């Protein structure tokens, strides 16, 4: 080990042989070890110019950034590696430190445990302890804040993104107007623990989206690659958006929720541009769950369209899903939801696109009770009989139950204001709100579904839906 004085000859030597990579790396590592962080950063950057994709130099640079509290810059430097399954575990631990410092506990914990599960020697007991404790409230940065605390960020060592990555772990959404995308990037605090029931749906999403990232070796062993999207379908209000957001949280990924208004534009050509900008936004924020709500409007059967420019939008959507080059969508998981899956062009169901259809069914009685429990969990409550409320809310979906809880809470709030103290919510409050409610017409949805799919299930695409249509799952 060199003492501080021993650094000087190393500095001189590096100055005389600027292209000697091992020498520069040695100097950079020594500077880092001795806490000369700004100088270490400069040396790692210079070394990266000589060896742009070098893992240990990038790891050193990220470490130098984190120790200078330049967390966004650290994540941007690591990002091109982190999107690849099987990335070097030490990078995962540094990313976890940066994410934690930015207030994104869920993403930090995911990175840390994923890294340690692959290489226990990178474990850091102090970090693990901090990940196990809820963080103090973290200020949300201003929307337009630069992802870098350092004015001259390094060029990413490999591949995309072309522009600086948006900050990880910002705690809230922020607009991304710079490139024309109007959708926002969120960090989802919701996970599958916040989704009641729906075990089969969660399992399907786990296998399709989460396992390839969490257990890349297992997937590789079976010759499978991560990729391809999932199309969630089912009656409106059934929790499709909620599930997609939870999948992002479960994965520690960013979440981009795209509504029709973010894409469709009356001017010819603008919708295609919006779509491209939205995909690019997701690519810059990978790992990212890109969620298209009401996707049937963007992906309708071309044969049903009278306007050529609408067909153009569908073609653009297909091209974006395929990715301009092979790795364009690496780390971007595309989820979409529709109440009308039968309108979707079959071209979207080809491998690598929305190659999995997942039916999101209406909740049964026990799932309704569980949804109510989740919706009420942060409210002042008396002893509750959620099963009693579930019994009188047959044919209610998640959104209807949310309406019931909102109405009951509002009534209680009025009472509490008059009384001058918080009066807890009781079962009769929910029962009264449920009785007054007019739920979404799920039965109508099943009637429509029956018309479309009863005689059109040759490919087996609607297998999950069939038992509901044929009466095997109660009367709808």
Q: Which residues bind ligand ADP (CB under 6 A)?
A: 195-198, 236-242, 337, 371, 374, 398-399, 402
Q: Which is nearer to ligand ADP, 197 or 228 (CB)?
A: 197
Q: How many angstroms separate the CA atoms of 315 and 139, rounded?
A: 42
Q: Which is nearer to ligand ADP, 161 or 236 (CB)?
A: 236
CB of 248 to ligand ADP, least distance (A): 13
Q: Which is nearer to ligand ADP, 74 or 298 (CB)?
A: 298
**C-beta separation of 91 from 59 below 8 A:** yes
Cis peptide before 110 (omega within 30 of 0): no
| Residue 362 dihedral angles phi and psi, to the nearest 5° | -70, 150
CB of 372 to ligand ADP, least distance (A): 9
CB of 381 to ligand ADP, least distance (A): 16
Q: Which is nearer to ligand ADP, 252 or 398 (CB)?
A: 398
CB of 358 to ligand ADP, least distance (A): 12
| Residue 124 dihedral angles phi and psi, to the nearest 5° | -135, 105
Residue of 93, 98, 101, 97 lying closest to 122 (CA atoms): 93
> Starting at the edge strand that comes first in sequence, how are the strands of the sheet with 288-292 ordered?
174-175, 184-187, 254-258, 288-292, 332-338, 230-233, 356-359
Q: Which is nearer to ligand ADP, 127 or 195 (CB)?
A: 195
Q: Which is nearer to ligand ADP, 66 or 367 (CB)?
A: 367
Q: Which residue has the tokens 């941007």?
A: 76
Q: How many angstroms separate the CA atoms of 320 and 283, rounded?
A: 11
CB of 293 to ligand ADP, least distance (A): 6
CB of 473 to ligand ADP, least distance (A): 17
Q: Which is nearer to ligand ADP, 196 or 430 (CB)?
A: 196
Q: Which is nearer to ligand ADP, 87 or 476 (CB)?
A: 476
Q: How many angstroms separate the CA atoms of 302 and 315, rounded?
A: 9
Helices of type H across 296-441? 308-322, 365-376, 386-391, 398-419, 427-436
Q: How many angstroms separate the CA atoms of 248 and 243, rounded?
A: 9
**C-beta separation of 402 from 274 below 8 A:** no
Q: Which is nearer to ligand ADP, 240 or 286 (CB)?
A: 240
Q: How many angstroms separate the CA atoms of 282 and 278, rounded?
A: 6
Helices of type H across 68-123? 71-82, 89-101, 105-118
CB of 306 to ligand ADP, least distance (A): 28
CB of 401 to ligand ADP, least distance (A): 7
Q: How many angstroms separate the CA atoms of 272 and 310, rounded?
A: 10
CB of 386 to ligand ADP, least distance (A): 12
């Amino acid at each position: 080990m060199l003492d501080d004085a021993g650094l000087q000859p190393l500095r001189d030597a590096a100055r005389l042989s600027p292209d000697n990579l091992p020498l520069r790396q040695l100097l950079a590592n020594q500077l880092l070890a001795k806490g000369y962080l700004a100088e270490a950063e400069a040396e790692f950057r210079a070394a990266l110019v000589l060896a742009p994709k070098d893992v240990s130099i990038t790891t050193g640079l990220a470490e130098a950034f984190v120790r200078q509290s330049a967390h966004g810059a650290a994540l941007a430097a690591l990002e091109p590696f982190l999107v690849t399954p099987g990335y070097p575990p030490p990078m995962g631990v540094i990313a976890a430190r940066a994410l934690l410092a930015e207030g994104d506990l869920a993403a930090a914990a995911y990175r840390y445990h994923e890294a340690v599960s692959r290489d226990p020697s990178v474990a850091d007991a102090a970090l693990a302890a901090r990940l196990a404790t809820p963080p103090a409230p973290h200020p949300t940065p201003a929307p337009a804040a630069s992802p870098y605390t350092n004015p001259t960020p390094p060029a990413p060592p490999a591949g995309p993104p072309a522009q600086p990555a948006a900050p990880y772990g910002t705690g809230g959404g922020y607009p991304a107007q710079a490139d024309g995308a109007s959708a926002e990037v969120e960090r989802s605090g919701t996970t599958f623990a916040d989704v009641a029931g729906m075990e089969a749906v969660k399992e399907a999403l786990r296998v399709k989206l989460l396992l390839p990232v969490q257990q890349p070796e297992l997937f590789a062993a079976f010759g499978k690659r991560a990729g391809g999207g999932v199309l969630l379908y089912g009656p409106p209000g059934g929790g499709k958006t909620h599930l997609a957001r939870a999948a992002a949280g479960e994965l520690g990924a960013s979440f981009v929720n795209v509504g029709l208004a973010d894409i469709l534009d009356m001017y010819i050509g603008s919708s295609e541009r919006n779509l491209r900008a939205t995909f690019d936004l997701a690519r810059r924020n990978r790992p990212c769950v890109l969620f298209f709500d009401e996707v049937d409007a963007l992906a309708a059967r071309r044969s049903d369209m009278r306007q050529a420019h609408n067909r153009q939008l569908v073609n653009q959507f297909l091209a974006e899903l395929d990715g301009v080059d092979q790795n364009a969508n690496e780390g971007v998981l595309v989820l979409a939801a529709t109440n009308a899956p039968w309108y979707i062009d079959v071209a979207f169901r080809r491998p690598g696109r929305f190659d999995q259809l997942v039916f999101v069914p209406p909740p049964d009685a026990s799932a309704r009770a569980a949804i109510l429990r989740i919706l009420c969990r942060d409210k002042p409550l008396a002893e509750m009989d959620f099963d009693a409320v579930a019994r009188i809310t047959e044919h209610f979906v998640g959104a209807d139950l949310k309406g019931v809880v909102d109405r009951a809470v509002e009534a209680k709030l009025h009472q509490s204001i008059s009384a001058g103290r918080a009066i807890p919510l009781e079962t009769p409050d929910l029962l009264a709100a449920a009785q007054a409610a007019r739920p979404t017409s799920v039965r109508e949805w099943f009637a429509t579904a029956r018309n479309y799919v009863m005689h059109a299930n040759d490919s087996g695409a609607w297998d999950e839906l069939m038992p509901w249509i044929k009466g095997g799952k109660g009367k709808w």
